[in-house]
Amino acid sequence: MAEFIRIYKENPNPREVDKVVEVLKRGGLIIYPTDTVYGLGCDINNIKALERVARIKGVKLEKSNFSFVCHDLSNLSDYVKQIETSVFKILKRALPGPYTFILSGSKSLPNPFKKRKTVGIRVPDNTIALDIVRQLGNPIISTSIRDDDEVLEYTTDPELIFEKWNNLVDLVIDGGYGSNEASTVIDLSGDEPVIVREGKGSLEIF
């Protein structure tokens, strides 16, 4: 059964953040809050954890569309090809924020993602998520928690999430109610930005 811990996004307790990071380092799966919907995540460098997430989602790891959650833009070059100034300006303007940006993948991607031409990059505007990734020292891969309900696409109540997922993951964070709207997805891998999915993030900044 998963551990259930409360972390306040206004001032995340460093000890609780450390506890989450230890779970990730051991290859554990976590459910955590973002600035949009709750996400299922694991350490990007732990192959067994990545395979567990893929199994839960019912996809092949090599063909998965998991996002890379980073704490800022400083290590982007580890995962994406050199970014043009115009693209970097868009990223700087929008992040941290409720956006997923699709960028051309670099040759130094972790092994399971080597064949991917593009990667989705997230820097959520949520102090809990950012503190976890910063403390871990590398990105986590992330995928949204979906709901079986026909009306609600995403579960927003952490306690309900825990009830449903406690036998599948190792830790669930209660960071308050989540949003029921996913991130806006924008493809920046081509010559012009392409809106793939309109979500929580405003398109006016583009």
Look at residue 31 and tell me whether its pLDDT is greater than 90.
yes
Mean pLDDT of 193-203: 93
133-183 pLDDT, tens per residue? 999 999 999 999 876 554 456 778 999 999 999 999 999 999 999 998 999
How far from the centroid of its chain's Cα atoms is residue 26's Cα?
19
50 neighbors 112 (Cβ within 8 angstroms): yes
64-102 pLDDT, tens per residue? 999 999 999 998 989 999 999 999 999 999 999 999 999
46 neighbors 187 (Cβ within 8 angstroms): no
- Output the pTM of the full model: 0.94
Q: How confident is the model at residue 48 (pLDDT cuts 50, 70, 90)?
A: very high
Look at residue 6 and tell me whether its pLDDT is greater than 90.
yes
- What integer pLDDT is reported at residue 154 of this predicted model? 73
d(CA 95, CA 110): 23
Look at residue 203 and tell me whether its pLDDT is greater than 80.
yes
Identify the burial level of 16 via C-beta atoms within 10 angstroms of its C-beta, where 0-12 means exposed, 13-18 middle and 19 or more buried: middle
- What integer pLDDT is reported at residue 98 of this predicted model? 97
- What integer pLDDT is reported at residue 152 of this predicted model? 53
Q: Between 46 and 203, where is the model more confident?
A: 46
113-127 pLDDT, tens per residue? 988 899 999 999 999
Q: Which domains does the chain have, with CATH numbers?
A: 3-197 (3.90.870.10)
